[in-house]
């Protein structure tokens, strides 16, 4: 199994709408996968309910995989909360 490249550019998709704000959540592009992962887990805590997924090149990662990468020992950014 190859090591995950946290420095690769990433796209984050949240296909459902935020009902309270009446705005589509949609799509965000990040310079690095680490930033996309941090946004999904820390900055948008209700992300799980919207069914987010991250695209890096030809690979697609669902919420469980995003969260697993965030909790990984090789995650390069400082975490808001320690891994569980």
Chain-centre distance for alpha carbon 78: 15
Angle at 45 between CA 40 and CA 50, to 5 degrees: 70
Contact 61, 69 (CB under 8 A): yes
* SS3 (DSSP) at 69: helix
Q: For each of the chain's 84 residues, which pLDDT tens digit applies?
A: 468 999 999 999 987 655 565 555 688 999 999 999 999 888 776 666 667 899 999 999 999 999 999 999 999 999 886 555
Q: What ranges do the domains of the chain cover?
A: 10-71
């Amino acid at each position: 199994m190859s090591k995950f490249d946290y420095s690769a550019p990433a796209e984050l998709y949240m296909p459902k709408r935020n009902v309270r704000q009446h705005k589509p959540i949609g799509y965000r592009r990040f310079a690095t996968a680490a930033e996309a992962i941090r946004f999904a887990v820390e900055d948008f805590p209700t992300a799980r309910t919207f069914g987010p997924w991250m695209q890096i090149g030809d690979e697609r990662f669902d919420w469980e995989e995003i969260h697993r990468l965030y909790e990984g020992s090789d995650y390069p950014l400082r975490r808001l909360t320690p891994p569980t």
